[in-house]
Amino acid sequence: MTELREGDILDGRYRIGPRIARGGMSAVYRAEDTRLGRTVAAKVMDPRFHDDEAFRVRFEREARAVARMTDESLVNVYDQGTDPQGHVFLIMELVDGGTLRELLRERGPMPPHAATAVLRPVLRALSLAHSRQMVHRDIKPENVLISDVGGRVKLADFGLVRAAADASVTSNSVIVGTVGYLSPEQVTGGAVTPASDVYSVGVLLFELLTGSTPFSGDTSLSIALQRLEKDVPAPGSVIDGVPPEFDDLVAIACARAPEDRFPSAAEFLEELDNVAKELSLPPFQVPAPVQSAAHRAAESATAVTNEGDWSLQTPDPVNETQVEGLFPVEPYRGETTLEPMPDRARWDDADEEVVVEEPERREAKKDVPGRNRTRTGFALWLVIAILATMGIGLGSWWLGSGRYGDVPSITGMSQAQAYQALTDAGFEPEVGETYSDDHPVRTAAGSEPVAGERAVRGNPVTILMSLGQPTVPAAPPDRSAERYSQLLSERTLTEEVGDAEFSETVPAGAVVNTDPPAGTTVSTGSLVTVILSKGPAPVEVPRVVGLSESDGTDLLKRVGLQVREVTREFDADAAEDEIIAVSPEEGEDMERDGEVVLTVNNGIAVPNVSGRSQSEAESRLREAGITIREVRVDPESTRSAGTVERTNISRDSTVDPDNPEVILYVSARVNVPNVLGSSISDAREALEDVGLELEITGNASEGDTVITQSPFPGRAAQEGDTVTVRGI
């Protein structure tokens, strides 16, 4: 597909003339409608974007948006479609004159009465759009056109218009192209509402009064970000002579928070009129720019000599002569009502366009000298003339009003009844569904187009069958928050995100619950609070100090924590393998499956050798890896002589593995041996062997025989005690 050239015929109907303007995605040409014989503007999408569905949708959206609105402050769209060569186009009225941008370049800042004259029709056009729940999203001087005819101001380019409920994301192309007029929510990608257009008009008013936009910078991004951090300054702080009332208008319109602005263009317009009345601003006719692109492109442009300053100008009567220019119209004679433009997307035959023919003027034929007309010939001619006249009349009726019909009201009907009513009215019924608070299930809740709207006979009309009131949907299997938002929107429900909750089973960011609960029947448009998951609740580090390493590890696993590392240190007061510290500390919150570090006692446990013989005790200590530094007598021990009483390490304590020594305490008690019948010298030797001393009573000698002893044999005695004997 090639680019159009002057003289080409677009869609078999529009003869392309000189190019008026060129943008990033389209070009605008002067063109002639060869059917109606009038000059129009043809906006044709650049061939580079032929396969880009988004751009094609933008063209169709612009046509639909303007076709549904009628006001002298709007640039009308007459036609939209794609010709056989693949050119996507809009046909618009040709507004003679130029753009507000060109006017500002020629004349500079405006006084308040001139700015008011420009702003009124802009706000009026936006009020109409806002009343139909549409947001323009691209207010700027380039989209405000001024006609040579009566100085009429018109708002153009509805290519970015969106339904207010759907305009939540700002496209990158808008940020790059019109960054100076974006609202803060358009910069951040927030919800775009009529208040967003109000902000852009506030910036436009600032520029009209001062000659520049409020923010500047080296890059588009830096300019865009400034409006998130700064308020638009008062115009009076930039240029002298601005009344405080206009400073207040700009301040309210350009408030950073949408709720602090005028809620729509209608409220802005009402306040502007109040200020104009309060200041007694005079009426003013806005002059069209002289050196405009339209004037340069028009071969027969009417010279405009309205040069000079912004002095007061009295509006002239409407000029009956059309001056062709950028986007233009035929002479304005008051508000007119246009039929909504048919949906070109449903027409494959370009010949099915609405054509309003001018009455054909015919000159009566004069008799040719010498021609003989018989009565029969005249009668035949008369019949043919009558039939032709009837054919022309019927054709005119069909091309005019006969082709259209009013969509009948089908509300409350059954599907079969509604189908029959639309068929009888000449339309092609289709069936759709919609939620409704007022109409029972399986009855018609309305139609699209709506009842009473005129539409081309034979075109589809959708029967909107009621689904009744919506129910709150259940979360999808994957509990996706994004998918759930779509489910709510499909049921007309609006969404509010509530406080997130912990969940052991639902991953973070996914839908846990809703209020009202899933399955609840609610009114259309109801608010549903969506509860998202914060993931599993945090885990508190349990008390593990004092437990063995194995018991502490098992406890940590039960509560959902893992042991990342075990370090070992000596603690004489702790048992072997006892946990002596944990990090993070006990009682701190951690994410589930978090990791902790344990510190475990590496001391060697001393075996219990109390009550064992000294030799047996020494053997067991050596087996445990412990050496005996010293053996001491425990004088207070009541155990048998030679029995181990204790070690110097208390029970459940450990010794340092780097110095594993203990002191062994043994009992000092001995059993008195039986020395009766022995010689005194033998008795002395036996007693000394166990640490006892011999004492003789009487006159016995070493060779005498022991006949008595005290203490008696087998009695316990301490080492060093005396045993008294008597001998004969």
**The dihedral formed by the CA atoms of 559, 561, 566 and 569, expressed in degrees to the nearest 10:** -50
Residues 6+ apart with CB under 8 A from 26: 43, 44, 45, 46
Distance CA 154, CA 95 (A): 8
For the question of residue 247 being annotated catalytic, the response is: no
Handedness of CA 449, 454, 460, 463 (dihedral sign): positive
Over its C-alpha atoms, the chain yields an Rg (Å, rounded) of 52
How many Å separate Cα 396 from the centre of its chain?
53
Q: List all residues 6 or more positions away from 435 whose beta carbon is below 8 Å from its beta carbon.
A: 466, 467, 468, 469, 470, 491, 492, 524
Q: Are strands 562-569 and 595-601 parallel, antiparallel or unpaired?
A: parallel
User: Is 604 within 8 Å of 572 (Cβ atoms)?
Assistant: no
Q: Of 138, 157, 197, 577, which is the active-site residue?
A: 138
Answer whether 44's CB lies under 8 Å from 20's CB.
Answer: no
CA distances (Å), 515 to each of 20, 154, 536, in order? 56, 47, 21
β-pair partners for 710: 724
**How far, in Å, CA of 570 to CA of 572, rounded?**
6
What CA–CA distance (Å, rounded) separates 372 from 572? Answer: 145
Rounded Cα–Cα distance for residues 214 and 210 (Å): 9
Do residues 559 and 592 make contact, with C-beta atoms less than 8 angstroms apart?
no
CA angle 609, 615, 621 (to 5 degrees): 45
CA 640 from chain center: how many Å? Answer: 87
| Residues in CB range of 221: below 8 A, 6 or more apart | none
Tokens of 603: 């001391």
Active site residue ranges = 138
